[in-house]
Chains A and B, each alone.
Chain A
């Protein structure tokens, strides 16, 4: 269970997040710079919101009114960083044991061995992070945090550091490990809508610093307008006109989309008459 109501200003940027999550995998979706990471960092205590309240399993971690701000090390939150943040000078075994404290040596060894087994890292226990593949690094990072039995699991773009062709395979693997070993709330941050749909029970969408919608993942499927305005990112502005051209291979038919008919919701400043948009193919979705 997780309840978040926070506001935070960073220069011109204003974050306003307001959501609730049960013991499920909640996808946090939005383009970069929309405030997803700051939300995650605020929950973990790495960033301090200006105001608001964060509650995990009935335990208040942050409350600006009651002046509660629990230290990160006492929050008992599992965090898998985008680049995994493995300690480069420690072996796989030492990395995994890092968060185990207050146990005697025997129990510690047992727990580490058990975890190495679950995460299929037994044969890599004495390797250093630099000697591992991306998928293995991801497993070490997840193992390192799940061994401490956290109340909440935060995954910050867990697949962005991996090659495209192994992503799918690792998604299933990660999902299975989490389902078998963790029963609490999982927040998965991503900017990839497909990934969010495949992995999450529900999706929270971020735009311009606000958590704008929340609901069953099928709900936002039926709202193409929102998806289009949301996922087409402005990349460059060239002497004054909207230059948009998308050609997509759909069932071996090349479809050309006439951009006049689409509504563009651009919040970029100083746009005159001409704008050049680049839309990568994986950001285009067809609905219906």
Chain B
């Protein structure tokens, strides 16, 4: 295969999957981080440990659990298939869910740290000045934590983009359907196509370096604040 025939499908799928997974992580992760930092209960600690699990667990083990939870035989899987004709396993949706599960801990961890580092007296002061909790989240917590949240978003995106094991377990490796960049690299290497492997690896490296550069910029800004 020469370079002009380079199949861009894996790159586009990877970007789509990573982007959707990151958006889901933001929608679920930020409210979760907010409630975790507000509550000091045992349940919050337990939830925090559970949410950290995807970081320490092997991706294949995680993928297997997801298969059990979302597969066609499972309660959720069969329910979605019967009622909405939606299949999760071996589809891009499965890849997105897998990518979200592996990346959401980074979102929650960084956002929670950003929220807890805010002086509690600022929240008390805002309350005593008549603001509601939602208003305080919008006008005080979010503006003060957004840099932290942003680095969480970037980390999640990077993790979602790079996922191999969990995605493979849940979505499989169906060419032009669920083959993401990391899987395409593996395939290219296995097929002995060094040229293509180099090309794909180079693309991923450039993307990763850009992310790292962005992250450093934000970290610098946080330190300067």
Q: Is the CB of A72 within 8 A of B124?
A: yes
Q: Is the CB of B129 within 8 A of A99?
A: yes
* Cross-chain contact of A73 among B119, B121, B122, B128 (Cβ < 8 A): B128
Q: Is the CB of A77 within 8 A of B128?
A: yes
Measured in the bound complex, the distance between the Cα atoms of B122 and A87 in whole Å is 7
| Chain B 84-142 residues near chain A, CB threshold 8 A | 119, 121-122, 124-132, 140
Q: Is the CB of B144 within 8 A of A79?
A: no
Q: Which residues of A contact B126 (CB under 8 A)?
A: 87, 98
Q: Is the CB of A81 within 8 A of B143?
A: no
Nearest-CB residue, chain B, relative to A77: B128
Given contacts A99-B129, A144-B129, A148-B129, contact A81 B124 (CB under 8 A): yes
Interface string of A32-47 (1 = CB under 8 A from B): 0000000000001110
Q: Is the CB of B127 within 8 A of A73?
A: yes
A to B contact number (C-beta, < 8 Å): 57
Q: Is the CB of B124 within 8 A of A73?
A: no
Instruction: Indicate whether A8 reaches chain B with its CB closer than 8 angstroms.
Output: no
Measured in the bound complex, the distance between the Cα atoms of B95 and A220 in whole Å is 74
Q: Which residues of B contact A74 (CB under 8 A)?
A: 130
Nearest-CB residue, chain A, relative to B144: A89
Interface string of A221-245 (1 = CB under 8 A from B): 0000000000000000000000000
Instruction: Indicate whether A85 reaches chain B with its CB closer than 8 angstroms.
Output: yes
Measured in the bound complex, the distance between the Cα atoms of B124 and A145 in whole Å is 13
Measured in the bound complex, the distance between the Cα atoms of B121 and A71 in whole Å is 16
Interface string of A94-124 (1 = CB under 8 A from B): 0000110100000000000000000000000
Given contacts A44-B124, A79-B124, A79-B125, contact A73 B130 (CB under 8 A): yes
Interface string of A137-179 (1 = CB under 8 A from B): 0000000110010000000000000000000000000000000
Q: Is the CB of B129 within 8 A of A85?
A: no
- Report the count of interface residues on A (CB-CB < 8 A): 24
Measured in the bound complex, the distance between the Cα atoms of B132 and A97 in whole Å is 16
Instruction: Indicate whether A53 reaches chain B with its CB closer than 8 angstroms.
Output: no
At the interface, is chain B mostly helix, strand, loop or mixed?
A: helix
* Cross-chain contact of B130 among A44, A83, A101 (Cβ < 8 A): A101
Chain A CB within 10 Å, residue with most, of B129, B132, B140: B129
Expressed in whole angstroms, the minimum distance between the Cβ of B86 and any Cβ of chain A is 43
Measured in the bound complex, the distance between the Cα atoms of B129 and A148 in whole Å is 8
Q: Is the CB of A99 within 8 A of B124?
A: no
Chain A CB within 10 Å, residue with most, of B122, B127, B128: B128
Given contacts A89-B143, A89-B144, contact A148 B130 (CB under 8 A): yes
Q: Is the CB of A98 within 8 A of B122?
A: no
Expressed in whole angstroms, the minimum distance between the Cβ of A95 and any Cβ of chain B is 10
Expressed in whole angstroms, the minimum distance between the Cβ of A128 and any Cβ of chain B is 11
Q: Is the CB of B132 within 8 A of A85?
A: no
Q: A73-B131, A89-B143, A98-B129 are in contact. List 11 more A-B contacts (CB 8 A).
A: A44-B124, A45-B128, A72-B127, A73-B129, A77-B128, A79-B128, A81-B124, A81-B125, A83-B119, A88-B144, A144-B125
Q: List 15 A-B contacts (CB under 8 A).
A: A46-B124, A72-B124, A73-B130, A79-B125, A81-B121, A81-B124, A83-B119, A83-B121, A85-B119, A85-B122, A85-B124, A87-B126, A89-B140, A89-B144, A101-B130
